[in-house]
Amino acid sequence: MGETGGNDEDGKNSANMLRNTPSNIRRLADEIQQCEGRQKYLAQTKSPSDGGDVRWYFRKVAMEKNEVAANVPRAETVEKSDYFRFGMRDSLAIEASFLQQEDELLSIWWKELAECSEGPKGSPASVSKSDPLLQPFSLETSRSTKPDDEDRVGVPVKGGLYEVDLVKRHCFPVYWDGDNRRVLRGHWFARKGGLDWLPIREDVSEQLEFAYRGRIWRRRTFQPSGLFAARVDMQGSSPGLHALFTGEDDTWEAWLNVDASGFSSIVKLGGIGIKLRRGYAPSRSPKPTQDELRQQKEEDMDDYCSQVPVGHVVFMVHGIGQRLEKANLVDDVGIFRHVTSSLAEQHLTPYQRGTQRVLYIPCQWRKNLKLSGESAVEKCTLPGVRGLRVTLSATVHDVLYYMSPIYCQDIIDSVSIQLNKLYLKFIKRNPGYDGKVSLYGHSLGSVLSYDILCHQETLTSPFPMEWIYKDQIKYESCTPTDMKSSSSCHVSSNSGGQDFNTIISSAKKDITRVQSESSLPEMRVEESNLLEARNHKKHGSLPLIEHVAVGSDHGEEALASGSNRIDEENCHSDENNTIKSLREEIDILNARIKELEKVSKGSSSCKNDTLKSYTPLIKYTKLEFEVDTFYAVGSPLGVFLALRNVRIGIGQGKDYWNNENVHEEMPSCRQMFNIFHPFDPVAYRVEPLVCKDYVNSRPVIIPYHKGGKRLHIGFQEFVEDVASSSQVVMDRMSSVKGKVLALCQVKDGDVVGGTSMESPEEPEVVERSYGSIMMEKLTGSEDGRIDHVLQDKTFQHQYISAVGAHTNYWRDLDTALFILKHLYRDIPEEPEAPDGDTKNEVKQGTGEYWHGWYNNNEEGTDDDLPLTFSNTKFVKKFTRRAKSFIGP
């Protein structure tokens, strides 16, 4: 939001100051102190009740659709649990924008309050849309007058996920459709019996501020209550509400009170009022509550986000179930965001956290997608067990819709368009971004993301199950007449999906070819005359003689030589039969042309219906960004690829898979992970579809977030490793036994098998398989893996775990830690020291890093140690002893 007044230079500086960059946010504290408008809000007296710290708040409960800010809150002060503070740096950013356009904003706010006050009693207050001052600032106008201004509608807060519209006093989400929340400027505060100072509504604060600047307490008089104070009646508030100022010169105190005849929601009848102060003051509670601790933690997190730049963006694509009433992807991503933030404090170094932060953005592709088949399914749904049917319709039906050739295109378009829309929003608010972008696909969302990534070069692909409908295409391309003759259907089957013009032109070419083959130059005229004469003779008509006479200038000679021609006809009977068959074929083709021409006009509508009911080609949208890593979480991708007879590769693995009909595709990403719970009924493995060598290989176990492995997992691996090591020892003993027998049978220097026993054996070069090369291409390393499995809990039954396994990934600590560490894999734990003295360098520079909001000194106590099982050292020791016993 740009400055509405002032010269161009001031407007340019205002826009630059609001750019969402860490360097500009760090300068906000200094620049706001130097702002001319800020000076009048600083403390001008020495009273303990005077201060200059302004804080901004946002309402916990969302506003109604047509509700205006002037009607919220209803009371002059807010309740403690109704509003939350913005972080210190977010408040500085909002206050800086407010001071740049203070006069315009206050005028708009007062007009809005006047509109609400003038409305009839009992009717909902509304704001006139015709008043230009009550409309948000036009971005088009600002762009035309100030091309350097950013295209934004608010001040970025809370890590850039939300923005504040100061005109409407709304806080709204940037990357998803959400409710507006009322923002409140806290400049004057009241204490209602407790220890916390709560902000007062803006209209009351402005009246108190006006009285303060006029030092109203110097004009104090005796009040009816006997108090020697100056009274200020509050306009536009509860009847009888007033403020009382007392004090001398630079010392003053103030209370908010109400007349005995009046009523206020903040002052009880017969009370002495509530204490007021100017400027924010922190809570003095000796023991903060859980809500206060949570709010402080949230503020520290917001301050951290305002200082550290975004280095990695992760778009999180949901799967099935978003049409359920209680399903909310925004809440799920919010939980995942908080979990990763907590784990970052424990498992990342201050240098890593201070170098970059990760922005998780939800991709809601199903929320606004309306499919025509949903209404038909609703009409067919049985009334019995209604709740269960609704649940299945909101979950499983999304998979069926995607497998349908009618709705597959709509779903792909919805995901692609939403991803590009979110990315462009991010780029507009973070110009010059050069970080990475990754995709997180959960459940069906992983299949959608995979299909989009696999078609970023071709942008088109046949429908994955097109082979099912091939017979249907041939059937629909035939006309009812064609179905009666095999030849017609033969033509139709060859033509496939060609239109009628192509078929007609092809038939005409066939007629021309047949006519050229059937032409005989020396007897063409005579043969045609004879055939026509025979036809007339057969029907007993006279035109035989007339035709012969007209056809020849010498009719008598023609009759005399008739017998000779008959003999000649007998000699060429075979040729006549050929001509007859060819002409019959010409007649058939002519009839075919006429039939096609008759149905060509009516077939266009039928053809359009066919295209609507079947989409043989899926078109994909090019993404505006390159994907670094693709995380498939709880993914059924494996079963989808298996049903499609698809393998992950570059199209050269038919010999490797021993299948000529196999289809290969490769996602356009640098790395891919498949994360799943062992008891998730929806998840499947992917590695067997990349490399045959991994069919019997165990997936990689994701580490426990508290370190090591759970007890039963560690014991199971220990047993398997011991068995594997024992097999290695037995194989080594068999090899040594064979060598000893070979040495006993031959003498030194003898040749065995044409090779000297004294010559060193050349190591065999093992040729890598096609599948292993594809694994390296997908993982980025030769020994990389795709499938990663979570550890199930020690004392929990498999079927009990399966109930919530598919939906628990958003809050699972092991999943969050695994992804978090991978996102920070390229950032060293400590800065590189040129002279090699890394420890001293880190020790001196630690103060500049972000330390966060957790006490890491408590980490590693004996009480926090997990119940884990470590067997690596024992197995290595066992193997080493066995090898020393056997010998080299």
Q: What are phi and psi of 674, to 5 degrees?
A: -120, 105
Distance CA 103, CA 93 (A): 18
CB 359 within 8 A of CB 313: yes
Distance CA 873, CA 877 (A): 6
Token couple for 472: 């249907």
Strand partners, 669: 627
Distance CA 35, CA 361 (A): 35
Token couple for 69: 């800010």
CA atoms within 13 A on the CB side of 290: 0
Alpha helices by DSSP H, listed for 552-636, are 555-560, 562-571, 573-613
Distance CA 633, CA 363 (A): 15
Q: Which residue has the tokens 């408008």?
A: 37
The overall longest dimension of the chain from CA atoms, in Å, is 153
Q: Is the dihedral of CA 187, 191, 197, 199 positive or negative?
A: negative
- Residue type, position 300, single letter: D
Helix/strand/coil (H/E/C) assignment for every residue in 24-73: HHHHHHHHHHHCHHHHCCCCCCCCCCCCCCCEEEEECCCCCCCCCHHHCC
Distance CA 282, CA 260 (A): 32
- Residue type, position 53, single letter: D
Distance CA 683, CA 443 (A): 8
Length of the chain (residues): 888
CB contact burial 360-384 (16+ within 10 A = b; e otherwise):
bbbbbbbbebebeeeeeeeeeeeee
675 closest CA partner among 642, 649, 699, 692:
699
Beta strands in 450-583 (DSSP E): 460-462
CB 294 within 8 A of CB 285: no
Q: Is the dihedral of CA 160, 431, 826, 444 positive or negative?
A: positive
- Cis peptide leading into 48, omega within 30 of 0? no
**Please, what is the angle between helix 573-613 and helix 486-495, to 10°?**
50
Q: How many helices (H) and strands (E) would you count in the chain? A: 30, 26
346 closest CA partner among 859, 847, 828, 702:
859
- Residue type, position 336, single letter: F
CB contact burial 114-133 (16+ within 10 A = b; e otherwise):
ebbeeeeeeeebebeeeeee
**Please, what is the angle between helix 102-118 and helix 202-213, to 10°?**
120
Q: Which residue has the tokens 């507009």?
A: 428
Strand partners, 27: none
Catalytic residues: 443
